[in-house]
Amino acid sequence: MSAPTVLSIAGSDPSGGAGIQADLKTFSALGAYGCAAMTALPAQSTQGVTGIHLVPPEFVREQVETLVADVPLDAVKIGMLGSVGVAEAVADLVREVLDCPVVLDPVMVSTAGSRLLDEDAVEAVCALAPLADLVTPNGPEAAVMLGVEEARTLAEQERQALALADRLGTRVLLKGGHLPGVESVDVLADPGRGGAGLRAFPAPWVDTRHTHGTGCTLSSALATEYARCHDWPEAVERAKAYLTAALQRADELSVGHGPGPVHHFYAWW
């Protein structure tokens, strides 16, 4: 089997730990060929974001259309969109141009706490979400999408995962890294199946401050692994195993003065 080709539609991260840079590292580490279409150019480090230059929506579309006319894709990961116009342009691309599985990471706030999505763009991202095959919010993002308080227990996390899957009409992997405990439990929910469509994926809690880009890395790994196995639970298992190991080895890197990146190439260095 040839290496799958996976496209990231997302923003840049000059520090290399998140965004398109993290996506391309993840694709490569997992044996996929990575392509990228840029949506935004943040001025960013491990300590935060000082400014964002948004790519015009029509040019985001041109990037993707030009690529797809030449390169067959096996999966797409969508990350930071930044504005209403870009979110709407990407939604049109999913409907009209992209003919492969799509993973949406509804990026709203960075690990360092910087807002990466205009307030008025939240609704546009929620409108895009039903078009994706899998949506991967963290606790705060799921709360915003549902209009509720953030989950504080695993039971609340499971209820919110089911509620969001039913509201969007698509699969939701609600990440549990924000919850306290000895494990990090992500919850996969299928729409319209109630408790029968719910599955928990625990992983050991990793004691490190270097968590920059974890959401980008997980969603990229999910797109890559699904392109290989065509099974969402198996893709989640594989992607979580990769991210856990990358977190466990993150302290071997020394990048910046804030929360550093995970170690995407732990198996190679």
* Residue of 34, 79, 177, 213 marked active site: 213
241-251 as b/e, with b when 16 or more CB fall inside 10 Å?
A: ebbbbbbbbbe
Q: Indicate if 216 belongs to the active site.
A: yes
Measured CA to CA, the distance from residue 108 to residue 118 in angstroms comes to 8
The H or E element spanning position 48 is: strand 48-54
Q: Indicate if 34 belongs to the active site.
A: no
Q: Indicate if 48 belongs to the active site.
A: no
Give residue for tokens 């920059």. Answer: 212
* Residue of 46, 82, 85, 175 marked active site: 175
* Residue of 26, 215, 224, 260 marked active site: 215
Q: Indicate if 215 belongs to the active site.
A: yes
Over its C-alpha atoms, the chain yields an Rg (Å, rounded) of 17
* Residue of 214, 217, 224, 260 marked active site: 214
* Residue of 216, 224, 240, 260 marked active site: 216
Give residue for tokens 């392109």. Answer: 227
Q: Indicate if 77 belongs to the active site.
A: no
Give residue for tokens 């609600």. Answer: 174
* Residue of 136, 211, 217, 224 marked active site: 211
Strand arrangement of the beta sheet that strand 134-135 belongs to? 33-38, 5-10, 75-78, 102-104, 134-135, 171-174, 183-189, 198-204
For residue 54, CA distances in Å to 7, 15, 57, 111, 118 come to 19, 18, 9, 20, 11
Q: Indicate if 25 belongs to the active site.
A: no
List residues with catalytic annotation: 175, 211, 213-216
